[in-house]
């Protein structure tokens, strides 16, 4: 009888594990979208406290690194859990009714962090390409005749220092993701492999432009985001390699 009960319990646990869902990138975007963000914005920023709370509850050592002590503690986890539960109960954010257990697994949280990093890069690229305040509504000036093409600039390219090393590492991780995406069944690997090339090309252009005008703070901001992106990309590659 005891063996039968254990077998039934094991079977129930196995069924529960098989039935556990994982949200898609679109569903994660809806779940974690900042309250101030436009729901129609495909690159809407994530709610940082909600994502931080999920990191604390994931139980993954890598995800716990760098968390504020107040969040990682038992009391901190209990406090932030209420905000996440409210988000889960909100049908405008969670129409597919994902549970806390389904969105706090290490694999889902790592994918959410990669999404958040990609959206931050997209937002910074969009910001750098945006016209300066007051540009709209100005009367267009007559176009001057085209000037002869200038010769290529002399001297070395813009020096990015340690930020350039970080950028190169991210580009290398992107190449690996692109190669892996050709044979992988992992949707996250395919998605980021398809998008990272264009995103990192724009990031390099923006970093070099910032470095050329002496805006080191902007360069460092890009580099910090790229560090997080590379770490998540490396985790995705390692996970896919073990399948």
d(CA 205, CA 144): 27
**What separation in angstroms does the CA of 204 have from each of 77, 95, 120?**
38, 37, 14
Handedness of CA 98, 100, 104, 109 (dihedral sign): positive
* E-strand stretches of the chain: none
pLDDT at 50: 92
Tens-place pLDDT, residues 93-140 = 999 999 999 999 999 999 998 888 888 887 777 665 555 554 444 554
pLDDT at 136: 45
pLDDT at 7: 42
Q: Phi and psi of 42, rounded to 5°?
A: -70, -15
Boundaries of every domain in the chain: 23-114, 159-241
pLDDT at 109: 92
- On whether the CB atoms of residues 166 and 225 are closer than 8 A, the answer is no
pLDDT at 214: 85
pLDDT at 135: 45
**What residues in the chain have per-residue pLDDT under 70?**
1-19, 126-158, 243
pLDDT at 84: 94
């Amino acid at each position: 009888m005891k063996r039968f009960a254990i077998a039934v319990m094991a079977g129930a646990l196995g069924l529960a594990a098989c039935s556990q869902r994982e949200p898609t990138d679109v569903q994660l975007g809806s779940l974690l979208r900042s309250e101030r963000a436009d729901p129609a914005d495909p690159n809407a920023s994530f709610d940082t406290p909600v994502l931080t709370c999920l990191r604390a509850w994931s139980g993954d050592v890598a995800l716990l690194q760098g968390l504020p002590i107040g969040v990682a503690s038992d009391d901190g986890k209990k406090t932030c859990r209420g905000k996440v539960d409210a988000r889960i109960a909100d049908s405008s954010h969670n129409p597919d009714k994902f549970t806390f257990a389904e969105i706090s697994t290490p694999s889902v949280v790592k994918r959410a962090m990669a999404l958040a990093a990609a959206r931050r890069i997209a937002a910074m690229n969009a910001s750098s390409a945006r016209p300066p305040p007051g540009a709209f509504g100005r009367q267009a000036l007559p176009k001057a005749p085209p000037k002869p093409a200038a010769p290529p600039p002399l001297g070395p390219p813009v020096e990015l220092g340690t930020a350039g090393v970080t950028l190169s590492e991210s580009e290398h991780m992107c190449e690996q993701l692109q190669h892996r995406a050709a044979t992988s069944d992992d949707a996250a690997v395919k998605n980021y492999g398809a998008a990272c090339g264009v995103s990192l090309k724009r990031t390099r252009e923006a970093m070099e432009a910032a470095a050329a005008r002496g805006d080191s703070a902007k360069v460092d901001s890009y580099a910090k985001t790229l560090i997080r992106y590379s770490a998540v990309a490396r985790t995705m590659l390692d996970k896919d390699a073990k399948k």
